Amino acid sequence: MRIDIVTIFPEFFSVLDVSLLGRARQQRLLDVEVHDLRDFTHDRHRTVDDTPYGGGAGMVMKPEPWGEALDAILDGTPEGTVMVVPSPAGRPFTQREARDLALAPRLVFTCGRYEGIDQRVIDHAATRPGVEVREVSLGDYVLNGGEVAAMAMIEAVGRLVPGVVGNPESLTEESHEDGLLEYPSYTKPSVWREHEVPPILLSGNHGAIEAWRREQQLERTRRVRPDLLPPATD
């Protein structure tokens, strides 16, 4: 999968060179290119934003640099490319969205500052051949820009790309994969500071262990995230 990131803080994404995603890049499973939006400005100050029409506080990102950056990146892009716009005004980013985005041949993350990118950039991008635009929110809070959100989304999607995670089995038994929160996990020693591992897990009875884990998932989801529970069938 090819991932492009457009940002005024390219150095922010140097962390992608380490950890799981760093190895995935080396193995060419993920091809990540970071683009500095200021490379698409032409004035001495490399200006990327200006005051909002209609007044109001903050600054809005100018359309021209974005237009040129996206021309360079998206012209001739393969069908099925998704331009992801991290935004508090977007639809919630979920594991389902991550799984869906992991199937795309190419993702382009446009990181704007919170006050936003001139709306015409988004509207124009939706007319680009082969491109689908999705405004996606990491959560109902305000960040100063899209970079932190893009990083989280790139990690959530990148780890689902086949070959990136060593043992694909570990991707199935995770929170939100089956719509429920995950069960509690334990490892050696069997007693730690007088806290014992639930005896069922030491029983070797795999059927009983699976049933116990499922019950733990349901109990934890009922307690912490009742909104995730499937509607009760009458």
Ligand X SMILES: Nc1ncccc1[N+](=O)[O-]
Euclidean distance between CA atoms 183 and 217, whole angstroms: 5
Q: Is 140 annotated as a binding residue?
A: yes
Has 70 been labeled as part of a binding site? no
Contact between 137 and ligand X per CB under 6 A: yes
Quick one: which of 16, 138, 151, 157 contacts ligand X (CB under 6 A)? 138
Specify the residue, 5 or 180, whose C-beta has the smaller distance to ligand X: 5
User: Which range binds ligand X by CB under 6 A, 133-141, 174-182, 205-213, 217-225?
Assistant: 133-141
> Which CB sits closer to ligand X, 53 or 141?
141
Q: Is 112 left (phi over 0), alpha (psi -120 to 50) or beta?
A: beta
Least distance to ligand X, CB of residue 115, Å = 9
59 lies in the site for ligand X, by CB under 6 A: no
Q: Could you say whether residue 149 binds ligand X (CB under 6 A)?
A: yes
Among residues 212, 211, 232, which one has the least CA distance to residue 222? 232
The span from the CA of 171 to the CA of 228, in Å, is 19
Contact call for residue 116 and ligand X (CB under 6 A): no
- Residue 141, annotated ligand binder? yes
The β-bridge relationship of strands 81-92 and 106-110 is parallel
Cα–Cα distance for residue pair 88/66, rounded to 1 Å: 19
DSSP H or E stretch at residue 132: strand 131-137
Footprint of ligand X (CB under 6 A): 86-88, 114, 137-139, 141-143, 145-146, 149
